[in-house]
Amino acid sequence: MFFLLWGVLVWLGATGVFKLAGHFFFSPENPTLMILSYLLVIPLILVLTLPLYKWKQLNDHEKLKAAIFIALPGMLLDVIVLLNFQEIFTNLSPDADQYFASWLLWAYSLIIVTGFLKAKTK
């Protein structure tokens, strides 16, 4: 339940950021910022997941399950968001929906990949 709640909180935070400043991240006129948003989410996902796995002392199987539970709420909620993209993200061009959707797939994939990462052994 903890990781589902964490997933909802992460989704809320990300959705809020894109509601307020998404036009900086998903503008085809500024490919540098778009590429940067794809790259910067990598360390962000690592910070949002790996310390939690360590804190909760999860084994490999539990990490994968936790990663899925973190990603799942956002994936389900973003179905609604993407269907109502223009109404929710009024600050974004309607054409930005494809970039936003690809970024979401990238971010959720990264979350799930963290569940496969092995912990360093001493």
Tens digit of pLDDT for each residue in 39-93? 999 999 999 999 999 999 999 999 999 999 999 999 999 999 999 999 999 988 8
pLDDT digit string (tens) for 15-40? 999 999 888 888 878 888 889 999 99
- The single-letter DSSP state of residue 24 is H
Tell me what the pLDDT averaged over the chain comes to: 92
> For residues 28 and 92, is the Cβ–Cβ distance under 8 A?
no
Rounded CA separation 122/120 (Å): 7
Find the helix or strand (DSSP H, E) in which 73 lies. helix 60-83
Residues 94 and 104: their CA atoms lie apart, in Å, by 16
Q: Could you give the angle at which helices 31-55 and 60-83 cross, rounded to 10 degrees?
A: 140
Identify the band that residue 121 occupies on the pLDDT scale cut at 50, 70 and 90: low
Q: What is the pLDDT of residue 28?
A: 79
Break the chain down into helix, strand, coil percent, rounded to 5: 80, 0, 20
